[in-house]
């Protein structure tokens, strides 16, 4: 109970701090989603392949190898992320689950003479968190007595990041190609948090209320410049670089806080002279917002028309991801595709999704969660010359059968406290893609 008390008190006084440090950790790992049904099946190791519309995202230089004109649609994707903070409320875990159902990809490629043109739309992240917590059997120690307390929290976050833009690719020589995708990136995030605590004291029923509303919008340009080299018909090498340039980043906040001691007079102060009731609004243009640069280096081996082996190294270089301080992050992915029959390819992939936050320093407080994920992916297609349907999915987790292959996840749930809690996360997605060649 003591822990809960601490948690609640701290949350009363520092609600926005809790929100800022983010129990929601989707920003703390870069690879929240994989684009394209075929690429997903191969762990996202697609930089040396990229020969279908989803290639516009990984390495547009691969589009020159897209055979005929193609269209690809993934309009049914389901994603689920679950974060478990161990032993946070007493010995109980605190769980947060986010899921959404959304269109994840649309793309076309078309030949124009010797050049390939494309247009693609990808949803990089789409999460809706809707969490209600209600506890009515709590007590708060006030002036030596145990006051019966109810705690009510409604927490909603919606976040959506999309990329959309045209691509162009061409051969420079017979075995070297270049490509460029000009993506506009839009990120929209809304957080609404309402906290309501009621308690009984001296025969009166008092309440304390907190509401926060944050809306954040980011517009950025995220070009992808890529090249692919095929020294012979068995091997392909790919390199793509995607820097981000933030065009505008606005964050509008509205905060209302009325602790139990406050009445209806907004000029009331506490013994130290600070106002008891807080009502703040702010419309901020954030000037120095940055997005890390994404560098992908890949190789693929084509031993026959039935088999592919591929690997990618994925680097996010940059110390700032919008308003978060991040570190350079390196990930690796491996994938394979095998045609069981001429119409049934299956794919498998394995990839890392390291946290972009620094390791938690046990002497400091208010640090961001740090959880590394290992991902497994697969896809299966029913394929003919001109069309295909693909079912793809991935499963990322910080722990498999009790073993954390990339280290245990850690978080600091309590604002202002240096204690560290163990965190587990699972992130999985299933997608259905339809493609056609024409």
Partner 1 sequence: MRTKQKYLASIFFVTFAILSCTVGDNVRKRETEQHQQVTQELLYGRLLSKEILSRYKVYNNPEASVYINKVGRGVALFAGRSELTYYFAILDSETINAFAAPGGYIFITKGSIMAMENEAELAAVLAHEIGHVNNRHIMRQIPLPKGNNIADTIASILVAQGTVVSAAMNETVKKASTLLFENGYRIQDEYEADQSAISYLIETGYDHRALIQFMSRIESIKKADAKLQVYHTHPPTLDRINMINSFLKEQNSASITGKLVTERFQKFKTSIH
Partner 2 sequence: MKIRLLSFLIFFSVMPLFAQTAYTTSLKTVIYSEPSLGSEKVAQLTQGTAITINKTHGKWVYISSASKNGWIQKAFTSTVKPKGKVSILGNANRTSRMKARERASSDVTAASARGFMQTENSKGRSRPNQEALKFDPADIDKMESVTLSEDELITFLRQGGLLD
How far from the centroid of its chain's Cα atoms is residue 221's Cα? 18
Which pair of structure tokens corresponds to residue 235? 């091997």
Q: Which stretch binds partner 1 (CB under 8 A): 61-69, 91-99, 208-216, 410-418?
A: 61-69
Residue 68 interacts with, from partner 1, partner 2, none (CB under 5-8 Å by kind): partner 1
Which one of 68, 97, 136, 146 is in contact with partner 1 (CB under 8 A)?
68
Say how far apart CA 372 and CA 354 lie, in whole Å: 4
Considering beta carbons, is residue 19 or 300 the nearer one to partner 2? Answer: 300
The tally of CA atoms less than 13 A away on the side-chain side of residue 417 is 17
Tell me whether residue 170 or residue 239 sits nearer to partner 2 (CB atom). 170
Q: Can residue 134 be called a binding residue for partner 1 (CB under 8 A)?
A: no
Of 279, 342, 400, 419, the residue at the interface with partner 2 (CB under 8 A) is 342
How is residue 10 written in tokens? 């701290």
3-state SS, one letter per residue, for 52-101: CCCHHHHCHHHHHHCCCCEEEEEEEEEEEEEEEEEEEECCEEEEEEEEEE
State the nearest-atom distance from the C-beta of 349 to partner 1, in Å. 27
DSSP lists the bridge partners of residue 256 as 211, 279
In terms of CB distance, is 68 or 136 closer to partner 1? Answer: 68
Sites for partner 1 among residues 159-218 (CB under 8 A): none
Residue closest to 383 by CA, chosen among 308, 438, 434? 434
Rounded to 5 degrees, what angle do the CA atoms 197, 199, 205 make? Answer: 115
Give which of 73, 165, 49 is closest to 117, Cα–Cα. Answer: 165
Q: Could you count the other beta carbons within 10 Å of the beta carbon of residue 163?
A: 23
Q: Shortest distance, CB of residue 74 to partner 1, whole angstroms?
A: 23
341 forms part of the interface with partner 2 (CB under 8 A)? yes
- The window from 32-40, 67-75, 188-196, 281-289 that contacts partner 1 (CB under 8 A) reads 67-75
Name the residue nearer to partner 1 (CB basis): 82 or 437: 437
> Any contact of residue 386 with partner 1 (CB under 8 A)?
yes
Residues that bind partner 2 (CB under 8 A): 51, 65, 67, 171, 174-175, 230, 232-234, 302, 305-306, 337, 339, 341-343, 345, 382-388
Binding footprint of partner 1 on the chain (CB under 8 A): 67-69, 111, 113, 385-386, 437-438
């Amino acid at each position: 109970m003591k822990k809960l008390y601490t948690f609640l008190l701290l949350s009363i006084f520092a609600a926005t701090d809790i929100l800022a440090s983010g129990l929601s950790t989707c920003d703390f790992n870069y690879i929240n989603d994989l684009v394209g049904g075929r690429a997903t099946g191969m762990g996202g190791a697609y930089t040396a392949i990229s020969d279908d519309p989803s290639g516009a995202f990984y390495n547009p230089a691969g589009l020159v190898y897209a055979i005929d004109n193609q269209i690809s649609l993934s309009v049914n994707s389901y994603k689920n992320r679950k974060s478990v903070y161990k032993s946070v409320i007493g010995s109980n875990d605190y769980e947060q689950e986010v899921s959404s159902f959304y269109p994840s990809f649309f793309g076309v490629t078309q030949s124009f003479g010797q050049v390939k043109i494309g247009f693609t739309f990808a949803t990089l992240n789409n999460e809706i968190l809707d969490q209600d917590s209600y506890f009515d059997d709590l007590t708060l120690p006030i002036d030596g007595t145990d006051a019966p307390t109810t705690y009510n929290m409604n927490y909603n976050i919606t976040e959506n990041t999309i990329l959309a833009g045209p691509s162009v690719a061409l051969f420079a020589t017979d075995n070297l190609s270049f490509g460029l995708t000009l993506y506009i990136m839009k990120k929209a995030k809304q957080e609404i948090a309402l906290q309501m605590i009621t308690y009984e004291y001296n025969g009166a029923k008092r309440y304390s209320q907190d509401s926060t509303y944050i809306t954040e919008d980011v517009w950025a340009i995220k070009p992808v410049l890529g090249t692919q080299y095929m020294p012979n018909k068995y091997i392909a090498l790919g390199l793509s670089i995607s820097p981000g340039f933030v065009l505008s980043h606005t964050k509008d906040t509205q905060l209302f806080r009325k602790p139990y001691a406050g009445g209806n007079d907004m000029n009331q102060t506490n013994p130290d002279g600070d106002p008891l009731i807080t009502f703040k609004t702010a419309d901020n243009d954030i000037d120095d917002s940055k997005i890390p640069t994404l560098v992908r280096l890949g190789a693929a081996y084509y031993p026959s028309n039935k088999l592919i082996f591929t690997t990618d190294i994925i680097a996010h270089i940059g110390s700032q991801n919008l308003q978060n301080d991040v570190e350079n992050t390196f990930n690796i992915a491996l994938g394979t595709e095998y045609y069981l029959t001429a119409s049934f390819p299956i794919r498998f992939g394995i990839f890392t999704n390291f946290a972009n936050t620094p390791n938690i320093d046990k002497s400091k407080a208010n640090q961001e969660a740090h959880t590394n994920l290992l991902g497994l992916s697969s896809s299966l297609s029913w394929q003919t010359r001109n069309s295909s349907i693909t079912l793809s999915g991935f499963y990322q987790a910080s722990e498999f059968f009790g073993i954390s292959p990339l280290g245990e996840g850690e978080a600091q749930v309590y604002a202002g406290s240096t204690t560290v809690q163990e965190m587990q996360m699972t992130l999985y997605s299933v997608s259905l893609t339809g493609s056609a060649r024409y």
